[in-house]
Amino acid sequence: IAVRDLADSLAIDGLTGPALERFVTAGLTKIGLHQSSSGGFSLWPGGEPATYYTAYALWGLYLAKQAGYRVDASRIDDGLEYLRNDGAAGNTERPHYNDIGNQGDQAFALYIRAVLGDKTTQDAAKKMTADAARLPIYGKAFLARTLAAGLGARDPAVVKLVGELAGLA
């Protein structure tokens, strides 16, 4: 989807018109194969769903929908439900679990939920702000974006997070 404008402007052979549409349609179908019965998405078909993969898949579906592609609304609804429930906490039983990574995943998931119009994200984002020092850099960025989506870019919490990010840059 992101390559469409670039491919059109550069006339990249094989990535324009019907060929590109086939790639996008195949990609959307493939995303659907990664969704589990719980609504979450996994790295491979039939795998265990995870917060990050679910948020990433929902972001792709959102971009496709924004670009005018037909997206099954139940896939998005089921993914959001997963993020609100099972995906709202990291699976500490996984051998590769990392609390800092989980916090970043949760911030990313909150941002995707906000982009998709989930009205329940702001309370969770405010709670996460109180413990923002534990967030990785990308988590702080997604938390700032989530708060800005609901409170506005000039909200003191957003300004503080953006200031911290600017200082890190």
What pLDDT digit, counting tens, does each position of 37-50 carry?
999 999 999 999 99
Q: What angle do CA 74, 77, 79 make, to 5 degrees?
A: 105
Tokens for 132, please give them. 């923002």
Per-residue pLDDT tens over the stretch 47-76: 999 999 999 999 999 999 999 999 999 999
For 139, the enclosing helix (H) or strand (E) is: helix 137-151
pTM of the model as a whole: 0.87
| 111 pLDDT tier (thresholds 50, 70, 90) | very high
Q: Are 158 and 149 in contact (CB under 8 A)?
A: no
Mean pLDDT, all residues of the chain: 88
Integer Cα distance of 167 and 113 in angstroms: 27
